[in-house]
Structure 1
Amino acid sequence: MLDPALYGTESPAVILTYAWDRLLIDPVPGPRGLANFTGLHQLTPSVHAVPADAKPVAPAGSTLPRLAAELPHTFALIDPHHGAQGITRQLQELIEHLQPESINLLDVGGDILAQGDEPTLRSPLGDALTLAACCQLDAPVRLLVVGPGLDGELPAEALRDRMGPTMLTLTAEHTEPVSSVLEWHPSEATAMLAATARGVRGLCEIRDAGLPVPLTDEGPTVHEADLDDALTRNQLARAILNTETLDQAEQHSREICGYSEIDYERNKATWLGTQPEQSLDRENVLHQLDQFEAQARSRGITHTTFRRLTEALGYNGTQRQDLRQLLLNNCPEQYQAPLWRIPTEASNPS
């Protein structure tokens, strides 16, 4: 979404990204590495692209091959299993190979600007690894934050003095190149970013924990932040600069932040493995939906994501798209793409 907005469409970016889909897509905790895919295309000794015909090795799952099929960009795989040093090596090889005009480190939400001890922080490890890696490059890297607060971790007001003024505000037109992707991709932060760019405002409930995220005029804004300041502030990123394994980085996260988000995924995956699969019975689903929406209204919630609905109603990742289709078929007026609108009491008295 941001690449054509900043640079046009003539030369789509190479996007170096994690294969770290949450458990609704990938039942295996943590990020995937090179060994978890077949059909990768080697770009440099340590960097491989994920083409449309690549496949994750079962039981792992990944959205990257489908993204590669639907978008013009090249998706290359960040492999964090060799720590920050390994990611730095990947970046250096890519820079030598591509000779890019610019290098942007992009974070949706702004938790990359965290200190590491904030009580609302949920997933600092991936951000800290990429920040640590980028700060060890000789080439200049621009740190961009889009959608302050939209990841449900650091509130937008806490980020205002940590980043520069608005350099771009995304609009509905900017979301058009990814409209088809937003119909199936599970990213909640990207869904809210697109929704706010399209003018949606309110309070959106996300994740399994039901975190409330304000949808405001700040939602579709893009800011530049100082890379060195971010490293100075981010305790975890500084601690993992020299790590050579993901296990080392995880241990630093436990010591500094009090937890590892991969431990959380491990525990959740174990729990999910004990849950029976519910039948997607239409009447039962709509009854569950009415109950959920009544409770959400009482919390002041105006919108939610399909990931939140799937988990709140007790369904699993393999049922997510079928559940989504059932809801769209029965309540199409509540789809405020790509979010689900919670009706007011007046509009849905039942």
Structure 2
Amino acid sequence: MADQWIVGVDLGGTTTKLAFINMDGEIIHKWEISTDNSNEGQNITKNIANTIDEKLEELSLTKDKLIGIGMGAPGPVNYETGVILNVVNLGWKDNYPLMHSLEEATLLPAAIENDANCAALGEMWQGAGNGAKDLVCVTLGTGVGGGVIANGNIVQGINGAAGEIGHITSIPNGGAACNCGKTGCLETVASATGIVRLAMLELKRGESVGELAEKLDENGKITAKDVFDSARNADVLATKVLDDVSFHLGFALANIANTLNPEKIVLGGGVSKAGSILLDNVKEYLAKFAFTSVRESTKLTLATLGNDAGVLGAAWLIKNKLNL
């Protein structure tokens, strides 16, 4: 059993990442395929099974090398049943039996969890969590995801929707519409798309001068990275957007920390690549709004696993389920 591998899968709307991982959490092989969400997502698990078989053949290995498959999927998941409750962009109907479909396609025992929860588990097992048993992981990407680990276990909630940190209401009145159907969610101000939206509002509202305005003129668009790069160069407008984002993120995280008092809050996802300019600003607001003993004990840190967090957490999931 020690030399068998686990399959970790991180299912995204456009790309599916896969990895063969050993029992110690070391990635042996990793690759990715496009996610085919046509035909109501009926090809997704078939394509995963096919690419696993092809990779085994390429490595001259047989299926008995693999002991199980774990998957992180975008949306609330009922961990016990492996049913994904609702998905915005994968074509599946609500309450899709994803675990059953994956087991049927791959002929392997499977475990399914929300993708942000998997990233949190990955960071706990092999990354910035460094063995911390009480951990909150926030992924800042196109959206904002969250995973809460208490005493080493993912907090599921009554129907698998716990940890939806991106949908904490940050702007109660007059907030922007979110894909979830609400308005003013944290996701609308702290995701990559939210940051760009705030910057565009500022550019329209203020005098279009400075580095960020120049980047918009040059490229016809701006990115979240442009905002952070311009803020590093003390661009007034970019600095204001950075402060706005840091306030909302710090405020939400302080309230989470006051509720859970985790050992660590880990920021991951593409936006976290901004590094210290974001982390230091968020830390200031977190300290401002956190309860004294929480402020002294909860550490805010950056994720270390990058794109590997999801596949590692998915592998940990099935390893844990099979008691390996």
TM-score range (shorter-chain normalised) is 0.3 to 0.5
Higher relative contact order (CA 8 A, sep 6+): 2
